Amino acid sequence: MGNNTAANVLSTIGTVLWCIQLTPQIYFLWRRKDATGFPPVFMFLWVISGIPFGIYFITSDSYIPFQLQPQMFSVLCSIAWLQSMYYPPNNVPLKRVIFYGILYLSISLAMQLGFGIPLKHLYSNGVRWPTTVFGIIAAVFLALGLLPPYWELLHRNGRVVGINFLFLAMDSAGAIFSMAGTLVGTFDLLGMIQFAVVLALEIGLYTSQAIWYIRFRVIRKEDPDEHEKDVQEISDSASAENRPEHTLEHSQA
């Protein structure tokens, strides 16, 4: 009883964090009106992962907080995905962005209902491999989603641009609490792998930013010959972050 209570508390905290973790990123993009360094494929892969992610936790009779996670996760990911397409440098027309959003929601609802109901029945009868397959697919897409930001790092000397660190911190904390809930409750190997993969890749982003800061903010300040290059880099980044908002014509495209 004690373990179940602890598992529910920990997983609930993880769920709350994962229900709101992308709000700082969404606000960050809205305020900047610029998605430079935040590639649409990042959120698109996470949006796709939300479908098998939801099917897996619903059909495997996980704790209620775990069943709610993928739904809120998908909603927030879809908003950030649509923003990353609409804002520069991608500038996808608004009508097309709205169409993509409606299309995704329709496909997600159809797949979760179409697979979730029969798989839940199979799972209760001991046939668990189909649910496991969806769990593996979700874990793969979650991991793949965090690879595009690493591609962006290669073009910026390891600097994280366009990704809000409050979002990363909340996402990492959500993964940690969810992992803790899985450990003290009914152990879920695939759920643990999903959370661990996200956490490991996000730690990589923190590490890359820390190395960039040491190389270009600490070491270069000690080297007068390199200081001018550093100033130019910061100036270029600032000009990108302060681009003007879309014109009315683009908003009505």
Q: Any idea where the domains of the chain sit in the sequence?
A: 2-251
The C-alpha atoms of residue 232 and residue 216 are separated, in whole angstroms, by 12
More confident residue, 162 or 193: 162
Burial class (CB in 10 A: 0-12, 13-18, 19+), 54: buried
Task: Please report, rounded to a whole number, the percentage of residues in the chain having pLDDT higher than 70.
Answer: 82
CB 166 within 8 A of CB 10: no
The yes-or-no verdict on residue 253 having pLDDT over 50 is: no
Q: What is the mean pLDDT of residues 72-76?
A: 89
pLDDT of residue 178: 83
Note the pLDDT of residue 234: 47
Give the pLDDT of residue 250.
Answer: 45
pTM value?
A: 0.79
Q: What is the pLDDT of residue 218?
A: 79
Q: Is the pLDDT of residue 36 over 90?
A: yes
Of 103-117, 155-169, 239-253, least confident by mean pLDDT is: 239-253
Which range has the worst mean pLDDT, 3-7, 81-85, 176-180, 206-210?
A: 3-7
Residue 196: its pLDDT value, please?
Answer: 86
Most confident of 212-216, 230-234, 236-240: 212-216
Confidence of residue 52 (pLDDT cuts 50, 70, 90): very high
Mean pLDDT of the region 145-162: 92
User: What pLDDT sits at residue 34?
Assistant: 95
Residue 233: pLDDT band with limits 50, 70, 90? low
Question: How confident is the model at residue 239, as a pLDDT?
Answer: 54
